[in-house]
């Protein structure tokens, strides 16, 4: 992953990080801030996004930050309680919460959402699962 200054990223424990610079020098040249509750906390990482060299850490940067999909629930059948994008970019509706597999979401009952009703979303497909809000 190429970490870029001015962009937002996601940590292993799903928190938001904003990056200030990637040329800070030394073993931890990536400088930024981690959102912890309501406050931003200054942190540094390696160019690979590691918080601690050669050791997995909950603050490691693992992917670009993606806002949650914006779903038009009114366009979905009443039985659809979840929507998610698969690896190919197709959106599907599910009656029960699907299980994440290598390249798709699995569930007993699903249907393909017409592309005119695809949710607004630019993030990774594995982060696309959305549950219908409770009434």
Supply 89's token pair.
């970019």
Higher-pLDDT residue of 20, 104: 20
* 29-53: average pLDDT: 93
- Residues 51 and 61: their CA atoms lie apart, in Å, by 8
Taking the C-alpha atoms of residue 53 and residue 36, their distance in angstroms, rounded to an integer, is: 22
Q: How confident is the model at residue 43 (pLDDT cuts 50, 70, 90)?
A: very high
Which residue intervals of 19-82 are DSSP H helices?
Answer: none
- Which position has the token pair 């406050």? 39
Q: What is the mean pLDDT of the chain?
A: 91
pLDDT per position as a tens digit, 57-105: 999 999 988 888 999 999 999 999 999 999 888 999 999 999 988 878 8
pLDDT surpasses 80 at 107: no
State pTM to two decimals: 0.60
Cβ atoms 61, 13 nearer than 8 A: no
Share of the chain above pLDDT 70, in %: 99
Confidence of residue 28 (pLDDT cuts 50, 70, 90): very high
Q: Are 92 and 112 in contact (CB under 8 A)?
A: yes
Residue 19 token pair: 């990056």
Question: For position 46, what pLDDT does the model report?
Answer: 96
């Amino acid at each position: 992953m190429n970490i870029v200054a001015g962009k937002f990223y996601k940590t292993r424990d799903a928190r938001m990080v904003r990056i200030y610079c990637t040329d800070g020098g030394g073993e931890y040249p990536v400088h930024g801030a981690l959102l912890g509750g309501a406050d931003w906390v200054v942190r540094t990482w390696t160019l690979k996004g590691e918080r601690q060299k050669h050791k997995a850490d909950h603050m490691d940067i693992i992917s670009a930050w993606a806002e949650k999909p914006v779903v038009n629930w009114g366009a979905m059948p009443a039985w659809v309680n979840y929507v998610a994008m698969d690896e190919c970019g197709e959106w599907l509706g599910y009656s029960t919460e699907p299980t994440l597999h290598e390249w798709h979401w699995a569930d007993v009952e699903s249907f393909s959402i017409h592309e005119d009703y695809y949710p607004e979303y630019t993030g990774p497909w594995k982060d696309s699962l959305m549950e219908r809000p409770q009434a």
